[in-house]
Amino acid sequence: MHPGGCAAGRGRGKRFCKRPVGGRLEVSLGLKDQELEWIVSPAENGLRLDRFLRERLPNLPKPEILALLQNGRVRCGDRIGRKGVRVALGERVQVSGVEGEERPVLAPDPGVPLEILYEDEALVAVSKPPGMACHPLRSGEKGTVANGLVARYPEMGKLGSRPLEGGLLHRLDRDTSGVLLAARTASSFESIRAQFDRREVEKVYLALVVGDPGGQGAVSFPIGTKGRRSQRVVVIREEGHSLRCRHVQPAETRFKVIRACKGGLFLVRLWMKTGVRHQLRAHMASVGCPVVGDRTYGSASKIPWPAGIPLPPRQMLHACEVRFRHPETGRRIRISAPLERGFSQYLKNLENQGTA
């Protein structure tokens, strides 16, 4: 123990002091205070305030985050933020007195291959390959789309509310390929993010699924999570089940069958305006038609894998198109990504075995 009741911060090489003041926990790092501000995104809607802060301040230990809340240094809109409060979409969260929080750095990586689909002074769209993450999880990590973008467009490194995401406007799962949008200016970032928040951006996907979803239709079950560290989402099919879930959000997925393939596989087109994590994969699995190659939600399906059909090289989900208004001209534009080579070859192999 250091003199005066100060303990060394674990793993950080810094010192922080914990002193009870009037029943509250005071935390001091002896470094310059900072004031931070964020706007709650759709993915964060409904999070408890303490969890929201842990995600936004990944380098700050949990006791220090709790101390900020206990000491009234967090505001949600026009009120003092408390630990159990849940944040709402579009709400402004402000934090004062953050001491020593280091902003993570997005490292440029010119070795990341980028297939540019669209480019101008306001934004850029790339075709993300399967198996590549959209952005790193911590400073120093490389090999992601965001690392490649900031190497080519350095101005993107300072955009957005999450430093490691750079100017990325949305995300795709690691094993999903296709269109990924990023902004090159702060005004473009805010404009397009506002379109996402208002659900004015339309994203179109192609998926190969097991089983016939039935021509065309929509899946509109809400989606939530169970457990603090769950890697899966839960589709809520019945009223009352949402009481046992966390962070429940409305979600709608529209689908249309394009063609039937051998072995009871179907190529479908999917549309989504809501942006809930794992929405497409979870929704299709919930109606008995999981995405081919989906190890998270497909394995839970009771539909057996068709005999004689080769296993897929990856999760067969591709973001083929995105539609939105240009942030400067206001013109409605559409950006498309050709079907990824492995996905295309797998479909050809199915065709060579005949169609249903």
The DSSP result for 81-146, as a single string, is --TT-B--TT-EEEEEEEESPPPP-----TTS---EEEE-SSEEEEEEPTT--SS-SSTT--SSHH
User: Amino acid identity of 257?
Assistant: V
Phi then psi dihedrals of residue 264, to 5 deg = 75, 20
Looking only at the bridges linking them, the beta strands covering 223-225 and 246-249 are antiparallel
Catalytic, out of 50, 78, 109, 173: 173
Question: Which H or E element spans position 63?
Answer: helix 62-70
Spatial distance between the Cα atoms of 216 and 254, rounded to a whole number of angstroms: 8
User: Amino acid identity of 195?
Assistant: Q
Are residues 342 and 180 in contact, defined by beta-carbon separation less than 8 angstroms?
A: no
Q: Is residue 109 flagged as an active site residue?
A: no
The catalytic site residues sit at: 173
